[in-house]
Amino acid sequence: MVTAAARAVEQVAATRDDPSGRLALMAQAYRGPSNVRSRHLPFRRAALSFMRWQLGRGVLNPLSAPVPGSPWWRAVNERLLRDTCEAVGRSGGLEGEPSSATIALGTAFIAQPTARNWYRAHNASVVAAFLAHRDLATAENEVECFFLNVVLLRVLYAHALAAAPQLALGTLAPLGRVLGDPRLGMAGVFLSLGRVLPDRYPADGRIETYIQSERGLGRLLDYGVIGPRLQLLYEWAARELGQPGLLGMLHDGAPVYAWPYEKRWVWRQTRPSTAARMLRRLTRPG
């Protein structure tokens, strides 16, 4: 008998060097095992938006392509795909031992498709992949390593908006569940990476150039809202996702995933704008 885990491995292996095939596989997964319209389809917006950005940037390209993709991004994307397919397979009647503890969160989302359950399933797989592929992360260049941390803190914060709005927004907490709902377009503001990361892989140049070029809402979010609560955010997410290893990606409030603590200055804004200071006060955790 084919197990859910084995079937997921087969599905993902068939699309390993086919970026468009990966996207199609993820889209199909949100239809569920019966291939009919379901309550899960609205959540597909966030998952596919993030994957389309990865395709456009080229990080999922085959390693043998003229412009090779990223071993790290490919591995992390594959883990998310595999977990998703395995959870769908189990909900469709396939059996066998789960391949990891993250599968239970995926099946919980399928049974009860809420914003919090979607983030728990999605982010637990992402964090597990971060932990499993740290060696691949350290092989990326400095600019790419910086942005791996930006990706992580952004997805954790989006989760907190929906599941822990008081932590995420302080006195503005009533707005959290709407802003963070992955079924709604507003969540894209927090999950959008196209305005933060370079549009082609690999990124080049100096990290200072990218930091200085971030403007507008993204800069206010990263330095005015997310930055001051990173320690609280990672501690909460570690409990919420059942991933204690997440705490090892932060040191004294500074992200350190494939990034040296000695360069923690990149996470600090020496001269915050008036808007950033005001937003920081308005959203201070209680």
* 140-185 tens-digit pLDDT: 999 999 999 998 999 999 999 999 999 999 999 999 888 889 888 6
Q: What percent of the chain has a predicted confidence (pLDDT) above 90?
A: 62
- What's the pTM value of the predicted model, to 2 decimals? 0.92
Instruction: Give yes or no: residues 254 and 211 share one domain.
Output: yes
Question: Based on the structure, what is the number of domains in the chain?
Answer: 2
Instruction: Give yes or no: residues 226 and 283 share one domain.
Output: yes
Report the C-alpha dihedral over residues 244, 245, 246, 247, rounded to 10 degrees. Answer: 80
Which of 119, 139, 159 is at the close of a domain? Answer: 139
HEC assignment per residue over 171-225: HHHHHHHHHHCCCCCCHHHHHCCCCCCCCCCCCCCCHHHHHHHCCHHHHHHHHHH
Instruction: Give yes or no: residues 27 and 153 share one domain.
Output: no
Instruction: Give yes or no: residues 116 and 201 share one domain.
Output: no
Which of 111, 139, 167 is at the close of a domain? Answer: 139
Angstrom CA distances, 90 to 94, 115, 149, 280, stand at 5, 21, 32, 44
Phi, psi of 254 (to 5 degrees): -120, 130
Instruction: Give yes or no: residues 84 and 146 share one domain.
Output: no
Q: Is 134 helix (H, G, I), strand (E, B) or coil?
A: helix
* 43-95 tens-digit pLDDT: 888 888 888 888 999 999 999 999 999 999 999 999 999 999 999 999 989 99
Q: Give CA 262 to chain center in angstroms.
A: 25
pLDDT score recorded for residue 185: 66
